[in-house]
Amino acid sequence: MELLMPGRFENPGTAYAYQRSLFEEVAAGVRGPTISITPSSRHVGVTRRDTLRLGFDAAVRAAREEGYPVLVRDAGGGAIAAGPGTFGFSIIRPGGDARRSVRERYDEAAALVLGAFSRLGVEEAEVGEVRDEFCPGDHSIRAGGYEKGAKLVGIAQRITKGATSVGGIVLVWGEEDLVRVLSRVYTTMDLPMRPGSVGSLRRIGSNAEVEDVMTALAEEAKTRYGAPQVPLDEYTLQKARKERVEALIPPPAW
């Protein structure tokens, strides 16, 4: 297992292409199992299922009005939003990992994050769904319980014959902006989303910055997997820039 921490991609489409490139390289056997930790660029990420919903075009317009470009992501779940107070991570393995269950991969990702939180003194986080959360899932990491709790981390998976990936987005600060854009996106698509379900480490009392939490996650990965940190190679970087995922442009509203 190797650890990649390439820094922030200013264009979210380049970040998406980077993740796809890693996945494809692991699937092709030209890269071994990899953990990637990357600070976020501002965007809304939707699923292919979202693109088929009534109101989707209006949701794209609403997100763009809030300053969030919209991209289609490869993982399942529901729409997410990211910004300067969040970061993403993923654990990517060759296709033989598909023999493990979906739950085992969720458990692995959650344990990695909770271990990192413990390093920062954040002990109240737990695994579990939050009522009317964005990108709902029973393997979210939350604080405060189901009914009135807040989501701190969303976790999703991608599984193909060639590779598997499990990871998600960690909310460190800036939940007010995320609430604003997610509320508009979910309302426009006629989906439930409780504003109070959007949490952050800052909201539950942590003073950690994004870099602090990323470092804690990296240290936890090194401890659990013996994963050495390696630089991002120029080939993968240039491939990501060349194959940048373009943000969606909605048709005009009439």
Residue 251 — pLDDT band, cuts 50, 70, 90? confident
Residue 128 CA to residue 145 CA, distance in Å, equals 8
Instruction: Indicate whether 254 pLDDT > 70.
Output: no
Report the pLDDT value the prediction gives residue 231, as an integer from 0 to 100.
96
Domain ranges, residue 140 = 2-234
Look at the chain and report how many structural domains it folds into: 1
Strand positions, DSSP E, the chain: 2-4, 34-39, 43-46, 70-72, 80-82, 86-94, 126-127, 141-143, 150-159, 163-171, 229-230
Does 240 reside within a domain? no
Residue 182 CA to residue 178 CA, distance in Å, equals 6
Residue 162 near residue 31, CB atoms below 8 Å: no
Q: What is the pLDDT of residues 23-63, one digit of tens each?
A: 999 999 999 999 999 999 999 999 999 999 999 999 999 99
Does 104 reside within a domain? yes
Does 248 reside within a domain? no
| Region of residue 226 (phi > 0: left; psi between -120 and 50: alpha; otherwise: beta) | left
Report the pLDDT value the prediction gives residue 253, as an integer from 0 to 100.
65
Find, among 78, 74, 60, 58, the residue nearest to 17 by Cα: 74
Does 87 reside within a domain? yes
Does 239 reside within a domain? no
How much is the average pLDDT of 111-122? 97
Q: What is the pLDDT of residues 157-216, one digit of tens each?
A: 999 999 999 999 999 999 999 999 999 999 999 999 999 999 999 999 999 999 999 999
More confident residue, 96 or 169: 169
Find, among 186, 189, 191, 193, the residue nearest to 53 by Cα: 189
Q: What is the pLDDT of residues 220-242, one digit of tens each?
A: 999 999 999 999 999 999 999 99
Dihedral angle sign, alpha carbons of residues 51, 107, 132, 172: negative
Residue 107 — pLDDT band, cuts 50, 70, 90? very high
Residue 135 CA to residue 141 CA, distance in Å, equals 12
Instruction: Indicate whether 4 pLDDT > 90.
Output: yes
Residue 34 near residue 22, CB atoms below 8 Å: yes
Find, among 210, 199, 208, the residue nearest to 126 by Cα: 199
Does 254 reside within a domain? no
Which residues, including other chains, have CB under 8 Å from residue 206's CB and lie 6 or more apart? Answer: 120, 121, 122, 172
Q: What is the pLDDT of residues 58-95, one digit of tens each?
A: 999 999 999 999 999 987 789 999 999 999 999 999 98
Does 210 reside within a domain? yes
Does 199 reside within a domain? yes
Dihedral angle sign, alpha carbons of residues 239, 94, 16, 216: negative
- What's the CATH code of the domain at 176? 3.30.930.10
| Single pTM value for the model | 0.94
